[in-house]
A and B are shown apart, each in its own frame.
Chain A
Amino acid sequence: MSASSAFNDEKGGSSNVGEPEYGHDPASGGIFSSDYKRHDDLKEMLDSNKDSLKLEAMKRIVAMIARGKNASDLFPAVVKNVACKNIEVKKLVYVYLVRYAEEQQDLALLSISTFQRGLKDPNQLIRASALRVLSSIRVTIIVPIMMLAIKEAASDMSPYVRKTAAHAIPKLYSLDPEQKDCLIEVIEKLLADKTTLVAGSVVMAFEEVCPERIDLIHKNYRKLCNLLIDVEEWGQVVIINMLTRYARTQFLNPNMNESLLEEGGGEKAFYGSDNDDDTDDEEDKEEKEKKKTEATAIVKRKPYVMDPDHRLLLRNTKPLLQSRNAAVVMAVAQLYFHLAPKAEVGVIAKALVRLMRSHSEVQYVVLQNVATMSIKRRGMFEPYLKSFYIRSTDPTQIKVLKLEVLTNLANETNISTILREFQTYIKSNDKDFVAATIQAIGRCATNIGEVRDTCLNGLVQLLSNRDELVVAESVVVIKKLLQMQPEQHSDIIKHMAKLTDNIQVPMARASILWLIGEYCEHVPKIAPDVLRKMAKTFTNEEDIVKLQIINLAAKLYLTNSKQTKLLTQYVLNLAKYDQNYDIRDRARFIRQLIVPTDKSGALSKYAKKLFLALKPAPVLESPFKDRDHFQLGSLSHLLNAKAGGYQVLPDWPEAAPDPSVRNVEIEEVITSSEGRIGLLGDRREVPEWTKCSSREKRKEKKADKPFYSDSEGESGPTESADSDTASGSESGGGSEESGSGSESEESNEESESASEEDEEEEGKKKKKNVEKIKARKPVPESESEQSSGEDEKKSEKKSKPRIGSTESESEENGDSESESSESEEEESEEESEEETKKKKKTTASKPPSKPPKKENKKEKKEMSLLDFDDFDPAPSPSQVTPLNNFLSSSLVTDLEGLSLTDNVLSPTTIVPSGNLKTYELLHRITGEGLSVEYCFSRQPFSPDPHMVAVKIQFINSATSEAKSLHMEDTKLQSGMRIKEFPEIEVLPAGETLSVVMGIDFCDSTQAANFQLCTHTRKFFVSIQPPVGELMMPIFMTENEFKKEQGQLMGMNEITEKLTLEEKCQGEHAVVQRVTAAANLSRVPCGSDKECRFAGKTVTSGSLVLVSVVTKEDGAAQLTVNCEKMVIGTMLVKDILQALTQ
């Protein structure tokens, strides 16, 4: 505690006197008064104004907590500092609060408002930490506040905050289980999250709150599989364990066919070793027959084909065997053990053996699991036999486990090596281990017939060992072995009979006596003698030995009553007066049975049969047998008892449940993971492996294709799937020859098939072409010819369907901005054909290769006005408003005409497209003649409505032409996506060209970085959106606006007072400036003192409401209501700036 002592030096006087005590054990004093005094001192420090004093006090308090001392009486003094500005003090106060809030509930409530404020902070880390502490305060009263905060945070734009929300869920659940339903909703929402940061935490929450709701996983299954490798290691463990359980409920047993055969095979080996050679042939025959019948049974069954999702899981978890984290490796290993086809399980052996090098605790757990696995799949670990050899320095528990594994691995071929190893172990000083070794030898001997004699001889040699424990253990094991074939080993029995003089260990003595009694016929001379000796020492024996003496006497009496009658009676008499009631009972019972008296019952006739019945040999089993009904790697498995909260690993289903439940839009997942790879990818070498991996993903995607259509090539495809793939291939063909224009017949056919599927696949994921067809459906036939041709081409390149393809000419034109550039890089034939078509149809259209910017915009505006009557509702159900977004502004104007207050009608309500602000992407000088500008065109980006359209204008002011302009190596924050503009093949000198690209900024103002490449150079550029461009206008009536505004009160509302700039006074100017700052549409309003605007964020569709109330002298009040507080805050800043400057 260097800092603290140093602090004291500096401080000098005041607190110096008592100081040493604080730093060290406070309870050691034991005098209550001094204790009280010290806390007084701390309180004083906490109340002071100086942060340094507070910090010092908090440090001491936390040190007390860490030592486990009670510091709860300081609560009032500490809680006051919760709002302290100093981040260090604050942190320590949080630590304290979390520890003691439960005990001081009333006072803890004082701090809540601080956290509520923290939840609104623009810094994501502060929001996260506020939520973290708030949810850690275990006070029931704040449950509703926590619930609200969690819901809020679950839709936060920062993945880190969402992760914290996921962490908070189980906390709240443990505090108030009644919130379960609400929490499940949040979990469902978070499960759909696409970031790796959140995935692990939310699955953990899922496992704690609602592990039974396996249905929530369906939709996220593939995403989880694909993300898995990028999730942090702890999350991986949880996800893998959960997916194991999931897979057990959803897929068929991959070993279904083999398992029957295997069982037969296993039994065969078992019998083979148990019985002797002479019966083998028969056995074999039986086996073969059995197999045959089984085989026929299998043939009757449907051939097993692995579900592609099952395969996906296996494939994506396999690389994690290389993780440095033992828990991850174990998780994958258990997944393979429980889910993989038998032939593939072997891959995990190597990784598990590697873990054996780790810390002894890791070894301990791994060996437990290996022991269980090695019973089921012995072959898997056989090559690593030597890795399980025991060193004298291993802890005993490890030695015993290794021994267990070695025993399980023993078979005819390796038994000699193993026995040689065992011989070394028997000499060990660790007697527990020696005993375990002897038992292991016994088990080897029972399982492997060939070595039984060798083992027996070895064990008999051990009988002369000096250590009694070793001898005793040997005796017990020999007894078990002899029971299998007593007749051949009467000399061993004789030898053991001699040992009774020396061996003192009761268990061993008892075993010998039992042996002699059981096989007294083989040693007729010795047996009575042994009984004689035992009768002499009877009173001094242990109970267990006494019981065996009685048994021996009884058996001898039955076989050889002449010699032993008196002895037996003597023993029984002794037993009659024994202190142990068990022994007395036994003696009484046996006397009645064997000694014939006049009233002896029917039983005595059968006494011989009762006592000398043939007893089955004991089976020496591994304690790990059948442990695998617990999920491996789990605590329950380790303890061999169900631990609290253990989820039973279900059995495979008889028939696979519908695999289509897992069908989801897959594109997004892929793009996000590609983004990640791209981000990691290095700059120069990118193409090589990023492309390779993305190609792989593509391939995967292709391979996956059949599964979202419910069919897999080789497995029996269902009918609907059939039609689906058929239509897919058709349209594929269509797109190839798109230049020639697909026939309307074809598209008719397609739309028919699509409509059929629509009904079937409602709510499911659709193949892109299906969706495309759907989008095209309402298009009148006459026009579909052209649009379909184009559409196909587009949708083949972009993974998203185009929505608003229509017959309108002007729209065609407006789109040409993007399309033309696209078509440029398509085959020229295609292009020219299309263009001629267009020219024919659209008189006003210009050659699309170089459309002047301004005109284009006019056209666009025109288009949007004209377009009104044939917009399509967007197909995505998540759309908040049925209105097509880019029409909303025009709609506003149209509808405003209808509104009661004509006076507000103003042309500026429409986004002033003319004065779009352009930003520089690449300067002419740095770009070597190529200058690039971009602006936010405020048009919806048709391939993906969740993207912001960015128009990029290339101006080639160099003397030579620029070739192959394209973008590369996008670096995005997680969750962000980018839709690249198509490559521009040639940009002649002096020419200008515009293209449109889409960026999903994820409702954040993080910049999208990428490289702009020409055929010669690469330029690093980045696009950063102003917050106003992250939204799009929506139309609302006044009432709707008021209603929505009413719902977005509290922390979602931000109000600022401002003074309008001179030029800006007047409604018109205000409207203009606000709409220039943010992409919002005006909402009609009854008063001319107030202007209202509405919009929603592009990615998540959260409402953004703005109102400006003007007062006298240019004073005004700005109110922004937005669910996303960060966006709200930033927007306020931007609009303020726009209005005051």
Chain B
Amino acid sequence: MINSLFLINASGDIFLEKHWKSVVSRSVCDYFLEAKEKALEPEDVPPVIHTPHHYLISIYRDKLFFLSVIQTEVPPLFVIEFLHRVAEMIQDYFGECSETVVKDNMVMVYELLEEMLDNGFPLATESNVLKEMIRPPTILRSVVNTLTGTSNVGDTLPTGQLSTIPWRRAGVKYTNNEAYFDVVEEIDAILDQSGTTVFAEIQGVVEACVKLSGMPDLTLSFMNPRLLDDVSFHPCVRYKRWESERVLSFIPPDGNFTLMTYHVNAQNLVAIPVYVKQSISFFESGSGGRLDVTVGPKQTMGKTVEGVVVTVHLPKTILSINLTATQGSYTYDNGTKLLVWDIGKLNPQKLPNLRGSLSLQAGAPKPEENPSLNIDLKIQQLAISGLKVNRLDMFGEKYKPFKGVKYITKAGKFQVRT
């Protein structure tokens, strides 16, 4: 299936290669690099490239390209999904996924890749299984390793792969048994000039951090599961139970994982927590224009809106800007024409405003389109859909775990057209 993997940085250097079948020369990447040259943005590189002898499937993530070489028919999503797992695995092991991290841990990454695929077919992709075979680095362990001269390869053999619960290893022990669940909701919306909602929906995710000893069997129930329109689960969740009772019943993996993602029906009206008053105009003469943006809270259910950031991709013909913000600060990068206005907390009494003039390059025509505004925001202790966790029960173990649920609402792809 997957023949080889190349990691390529943004400037086009190949800094890691791994082959699961016979070795494919790295010159195959030239086709990809050519496509990369053509594309304006790294995101525009086509994910699937057809070369005379191979197919190249790549993802762009964390400023790195993960390029896989395929020789025969394979579902492209299969490869893409796997590549993302590789990135997630690196993130999971080393805290971030970047060129430096990979270069610093070259051997370990290589060994992980060796374990993840066998003959190009996924073998162990569950982080719990991998962590038993190759232990993630910690500060303590690296000290121990230097003293004893050992490394991170597990010396005991893993058991997880052999149980019917591949995502959890046996014999987990904690002194503090705790289970935390974060309900994170993101609002995806498109608003038009007048502020009316063109499209809005809520995407939610339940992130869990479970540190429980033994083999706990958890049941999480919601007050209003009917809200959930479409769900997808971590493999540990029992489908049948969800279908019949609308509760999440599962033996959790150890540590952090995404328990479920859900979608709240778009037909239910989505409360948009902020409104944006904006006017961006360019003078007919073509010498410049004005920008005036005000953000205010709308339906926030009594909570404060925090972390508000407005991002604008200004037209390429802008020469310079001269703005003043009544709250927060703005940064402008003249190279990328990116204007970022970091507002912070929204104060309903005094609405933050950003206004000023834009000047265009001499002779440039008036831009066709006004740039759209991308809004980022955060509301603590609120799930905008109204979803509420009812209770969490644990079976199968005797101790009493510490339980906690947190709600956060964020802006997802929240765009205001102007």
Once bound together, how far apart are the Cα atoms of A63 and B109, in whole Å?
10
B177-214: contact bitstring with A at CB < 8 Å (1 yes, 0 no)? 00000000000101010000011010100000000000
Interface residues of A in 148-189 (CB under 8 A from B): 158-160, 164, 167-168, 170-171, 174
Does B315 count as interface, using CB distance less than 8 angstroms? yes
Q: Which residues of B contact A832 (CB under 8 A)?
A: none
Which residue, of A68, A164, A229, has the highest number of chain B Cβ atoms within 10 A? A68
Min CB distance A85 to B, Å, is: 11
Q: Are B158 and A324 in contact (CB under 8 A)?
A: no
Interface residues of A in 616-664 (CB under 8 A from B): 633-636, 638-639, 641, 643-647
Q: Are A66 and B17 in contact (CB under 8 A)?
A: yes
Once bound together, how far apart are the Cα atoms of A365 and B77, in whole Å?
7
Does B146 count as interface, using CB distance less than 8 angstroms? yes
Query: Nearest residue in B to A8 (C-beta to C-beta)?
Result: B146
Interface residues of B in 1-44 (CB under 8 A from A): 1, 14-19, 21-23, 26, 41, 43-44
A327 touches which of B77, B199, B316 (Cβ 8 Å): B77
Q: Which residues of B contact A366 (CB under 8 A)?
A: 77
Interface residues of A in 119-173 (CB under 8 A from B): 123-126, 132, 135-136, 138, 158-160, 164, 167-168, 170-171
Q: Are B235 and A324 in contact (CB under 8 A)?
A: yes
- A322-B232, A324-B258 are contacts. A201–B121 as well, Cβ < 8 Å? yes
Query: Nearest residue in B to A319 (C-beta to C-beta)?
Result: B239
Q: Which residues of B contact A639 (CB under 8 A)?
A: 48, 50, 55
Q: Are B153 and A326 in contact (CB under 8 A)?
A: no
Does A362 count as interface, using CB distance less than 8 angstroms? yes
Q: Are B151 and A645 in contact (CB under 8 A)?
A: no
Q: Which residues of A contact B294 (CB under 8 A)?
A: none
Min CB distance B110 to A, Å, is: 4
A395-413: contact bitstring with B at CB < 8 Å (1 yes, 0 no)? 1110000000000000000
Q: Which residues of B contact A124 (CB under 8 A)?
A: 162
Q: Which residues of B contact A331 (CB under 8 A)?
A: 75
Min CB distance B99 to A, Å, is: 13
Query: Nearest residue in A to B236 (C-beta to C-beta)?
Result: A680
A645 touches which of B72, B125, B315 (Cβ 8 Å): B72
Q: Which residues of A contact B150 (CB under 8 A)?
A: 88
Min CB distance A1045 to B, Å, is: 32
Q: Which residues of B contact A391 (CB under 8 A)?
A: 190, 372, 413, 415
Q: Are A322 and B146 in contact (CB under 8 A)?
A: no
Q: Which residues of B contact A692 (CB under 8 A)?
A: 240, 244
Query: Nearest residue in B to A168 (C-beta to C-beta)?
Result: B119
B199 touches which of A201, A365, A389 (Cβ 8 Å): A389
Interface residues of A in 229-285 (CB under 8 A from B): 229-230, 232-234, 237, 241
A413-438: contact bitstring with B at CB < 8 Å (1 yes, 0 no)? 00000000100100111000000000
Once bound together, how far apart are the Cα atoms of A689 and B61, in whole Å?
41
A229 touches which of B125, B201, B231, B239 (Cβ 8 Å): B239
A689 touches which of B48, B238, B316 (Cβ 8 Å): B238
- Interface secondary structure of B, over-half rule: mixed
Once bound together, how far apart are the Cα atoms of A467 and B367, in whole Å?
11
- A7-B149, A386-B266, A467-B368 are contacts. A66–B109 as well, Cβ < 8 Å? yes
Q: Are B48 and A389 in contact (CB under 8 A)?
A: no
Once bound together, how far apart are the Cα atoms of A128 and B97, in whole Å?
31
Min CB distance B138 to A, Å, is: 11
Does A354 count as interface, using CB distance less than 8 angstroms? yes
Q: Which residues of B contact A881 (CB under 8 A)?
A: none
A63 touches which of B22, B78, B107 (Cβ 8 Å): B107
B158 touches which of A6, A125, A361, A424 (Cβ 8 Å): A125
Min CB distance B274 to A, Å, is: 18
Q: Are A68 and B17 in contact (CB under 8 A)?
A: yes
Q: Are B119 and A170 in contact (CB under 8 A)?
A: yes
Once bound together, how far apart are the Cα atoms of A182 and B239, in whole Å?
39
Interface residues of B in 305-351 (CB under 8 A from A): 313, 315-316
Does A883 count as interface, using CB distance less than 8 angstroms? no
Does B249 count as interface, using CB distance less than 8 angstroms? yes
Q: Are B146 and A7 in contact (CB under 8 A)?
A: yes
Once bound together, how far apart are the Cα atoms of A361 and B68, in whole Å?
13
Min CB distance B289 to A, Å, is: 15
Once bound together, how far apart are the Cα atoms of A1106 and B229, in whole Å?
64
B50-64: contact bitstring with A at CB < 8 Å (1 yes, 0 no)? 100001001111000
Count of A interface residues, CB-CB < 8 Å:
114
Q: Are B238 and A55 in contact (CB under 8 A)?
A: no
Does B80 count as interface, using CB distance less than 8 angstroms? yes
Q: Which residues of B contact A467 (CB under 8 A)?
A: 368
Q: Are A59 and B151 in contact (CB under 8 A)?
A: yes
Q: Are B73 and A646 in contact (CB under 8 A)?
A: yes
Once bound together, how far apart are the Cα atoms of A641 and B153, in whole Å?
44
Q: Which residues of B contact A696 (CB under 8 A)?
A: 240
Query: Nearest residue in B to A349 (C-beta to C-beta)?
Result: B230
Q: Which residues of B contact A362 (CB under 8 A)?
A: 77, 80-81
A6-32: contact bitstring with B at CB < 8 Å (1 yes, 0 no)? 110110000000000000000000000
Once bound together, how far apart are the Cα atoms of A643 and B54, in whole Å?
10
- A354-B230, A689-B238, A689-B240 are contacts. A237–B75 as well, Cβ < 8 Å? yes
- A138-B22, A229-B239, A645-B73 are contacts. A325–B119 as well, Cβ < 8 Å? no
Q: Which residues of B contact A62 (CB under 8 A)?
A: 106-107, 110-111
A395 touches which of B15, B44, B192, B413 (Cβ 8 Å): B44
Does A682 count as interface, using CB distance less than 8 angstroms? yes
Q: Are B149 and A638 in contact (CB under 8 A)?
A: no
Extra pairs beyond A326-B77, A393-B313, A429-B316 (11, CB < 8 Å): A10-B149, A99-B23, A125-B162, A132-B118, A136-B119, A168-B119, A351-B232, A353-B230, A354-B263, A641-B50, A643-B73
A-B pairs with lowest CB-CB distance, top 9: A645-B72, A6-B146, A52-B149, A682-B217, A682-B395, A646-B73, A234-B122, A427-B369, A327-B77
What are 23 residue pairs bridging A and B, where the CB atoms are less than 8 Å apart in the complex?
A3-B146, A62-B111, A88-B151, A132-B118, A160-B161, A167-B121, A229-B239, A232-B235, A323-B233, A323-B235, A324-B235, A329-B232, A357-B261, A386-B198, A391-B415, A392-B372, A395-B44, A428-B368, A634-B75, A644-B71, A680-B238, A689-B244, A693-B240
Residues of A bordering B, CB below 8 Å: 1-3, 6-7, 9-10, 51-52, 55, 59, 62-63, 65-68, 87-88, 91-92, 95, 99, 102, 123-126, 132, 135-136, 138, 158-160, 164, 167-168, 170-171, 174, 196-197, 201, 204, 229-230, 232-234, 237, 241, 319, 322-327, 329-331, 350-351, 353-354, 357, 359-362, 364-366, 386-387, 389, 391-393, 395-397, 421, 424, 427-429, 466-467, 633-636, 638-639, 641, 643-647, 676, 679-680, 682-685, 689, 692-693, 696, 974
